[in-house]
Each structure stands twice: as structure tokens, then as C-alpha cells.
Amino acid sequence: MRLSLFLPLVLLLPSCAVAASQPSDIQSALWAGRSVVVATSSPGNAYAGGASVVLAAPTAGDISAIGGTLVAASPVGADALFIGGSVHTRASIAGDLRIISGSAIVEKPVGGDLAVLAFSLRGNGHVQGSTFVAAANVSILNGSGGPVIIYGNTVVLGGTFDSDVRVVAGDRLTLLPGTTIRGSLTYQAPVPASIPESATAAGGVVYTEVSYLPGADVSRTLALASIGIFFLARVLAVLILAGLLTGLFPRFASVVIDEAYTGRTRHLLLTTLLGFAAFVATPILILLLTLTFIGFGLAILLLILYVLLVLLSLVYAGILVGGLFARRLSGRAQVRWSDGVLGAFVLSVVALVPVVGPLLTMLLASFVAGALISIFFRFALGHEEELADGEVV
């Protein structure tokens, strides 16, 4: 088996593929359970699965194990395939070793190839064959007899490597003192590797600087694109909410619009001041209530109502703009869902104008907040008003 094979084939090729060449009188062994301790030697292939698997007896053939925690404490006479949350091999593997796990520790020698897909790998045992690793943190401390290919974030190499070594590091590559590479070292990383004077590479060192962080121009473009996407998403959400509230509750939207359309200048000013005072005073009141044990629950309720008031004020500010357009331009008293969508869109665009846009949005939202508070208290206290069309609110 060579590294020219694809990684999925290297990692997932079933160990039982070798069983066809074994004599038919050699039986395979299977262990399964919540906690599995394999204490009986297997003359053929072995399979184990469980939340915790400990291989405490030698296996003459291949071993395949799946579990949360895998510990190989006895030698394996052929290939090994381990899939688990953590894998720890404390005995030698005569054949190939393939690991898929969160963390992997290989303490003893591997007679064949080593292929690992994990979050972290610490390899203390010498690998006779090829080595292929894809992990965030990689430490290979006892070299390898075949070619080495590593994809990782931080990579640490030590020992003797008899062939070429290729590394793609997202952060950095470090060679320990005394590391010997009899082939060439080719690596890509954002910064040059830390190579002590006692470390040697007979075939030379080829470094390619690769920055995985975007430059200033790319960062600026990404920032503008993110702002644009956020703005479009926010506008779309406001448009949908404004259309729903206007379409589902047209009478309530008409009442809010009447507050601005039929009210006198003094009424408009007082309503705006009431809403602005609610925006400013409510957070202070919530903070004071949180200082007392009794008022903490009331502060939470008041905070929920405050967030709801701010949200409705911003949405109904757009509905107000759309309703005023409908009454001024078309003379139509009945508000429609399209008026709410149009007004919300116009207000979202106007809000982008420096200074003037946020100020106008704040004034409209303050007026709507005051109108919502006034409507609520009129409804709660039972005060009725006659609308222009004779309906009672």
C-alpha cells in the first residue's frame, strides 16, 4: 500500500479484505458491548466495538475496532483500523495502522504505513512505511522510513526520516534538535519553520510562503460584502414584518397613522416626547430594579416589554411612512400591506443618509412609541375614541 492511493481508500479499506487469503479453518473473533476488554488472543482477524474498547491480548491477524475510547495494549500481527473519539496504541502494529479519531497517540512502532485523520496526533513510535496525516496538531517524534505527507495547523517533527517530507502548515512547522531528513523537506506555511542547527535535510529545504489570512484589500472587500449582506437581510426582515403586521392588523395600523395624520402640532410633539422618554427612562428603571431582589423579576418582564416596544416602534415607523404616502398621494384611508412594505423600504433607505437619516428614524420611532403607549393606556383604561368612519377604538 503506497501513499499514491487516495486518503479515503487508505483509511477505509476494510481489513477483512485480507481474510480471503487466509485458510478457511482460521476463525475471526468478534467482541461487542458497552465496555469491551479483549483478553483472549485471536489467531485470525478480530473485530471489536463499544463505548470503551481495550485490546489486552495479541491479535495474529487484522484488527478493526470502533468505540469512544480505544486502547491497543497488545501487539497486532497485521493491519489495524481504529475509529473512535480517542485512540491510544501502546503496543507495536506489524502492518498498516489507520486511525480516524479526535485525538490519537501512537507510542510504539508501526511496521507498515500510517494514515491518520484526527484533530491531534502524537506519534512516538517509528513508522517503517509511509506516513499520511491530516490533523490540526501533529507531532511525529520518531521519524518514518517512507515518504511523509502532513496537513496540519501546527506541526512538530523529530527523529530520522529516510525519505522526502512534505508539510502544509496553517500556523508553523518546527523541527526538533537532531532531526535528520535524508530526503528533501518541502513545506508551506505563513512563516519560515523553526529549524535548529543540529537538524539536517540532505535533499534541501524548499519553503513556500502562504498566508491564510486575507490581505488589506481582501479584508476590505469582505467587510463591505458582509455589511451589504447584513443590510439586505435586515431590510428584508423589516419588509416582511411590516407587510405581515399591516396585512394582519390593518385597523391597528390605521389607528397609529391617524395619530400622526389627524393630530395637532402640540399633540404630535407631546407624543414624540413621551416615546423618547420611554426609550431613555426605561433602561434606567430596569437597571435600578435589578439592584433589588424583589424587583429582579419585574426588571426581566420590563426588559422584554422594552425590546418589544423598540421593535414595534421601528417597524410601525415604516408603516406610518407608507400610510402617510397612501393618504397624501392617493387619498386612500384604508392601509394595505403594500403600503407597509413601501414605507419600511423608504425608511430603511433614508436611514442610510448620514446624520439626517438616523435622526429622522429616531423621531419617527419616538412618535410611534408614544402613540403605542397612548393607545395601550386608552384601551386599558376603557377610554373610547370615535374614528372618522364611525368605528370605535
Domain boundaries, the chain: 7-209, 216-381
- 3-state DSSP assignment of residue 212: coil
Residue 80 has which C-alpha cell? 489495524
Tell me: pLDDT of 166 over 90.
yes
Per-residue pLDDT at 109: 93
Per-residue pLDDT at 27: 66
Q: How far, in Å, CA of 208 to CA of 91, rounded?
A: 37
Tell me: pLDDT of 18 over 70.
no
Per-residue pLDDT at 3: 37
pLDDT greater at residue 150 or residue 42: 150
- Digit-coded pLDDT (tens) for 107-128: 999 999 999 999 999 999 999 9
The angle, 0 to 180 degrees and rounded to 10, between the axes of the packed helices 337-350 and 296-325 is 100
- Digit-coded pLDDT (tens) for 245-275: 888 888 888 888 888 877 788 888 998 999 9
Tell me: pLDDT of 146 over 90.
yes
Q: How far, in Å, CA of 273 to CA of 97, rounded?
A: 74
pLDDT greater at residue 25 or residue 243: 243
Query: Is the separation of the CB atoms in 75 and 61 below 8 Å?
Result: no
Tell me: pLDDT of 10 over 50.
no
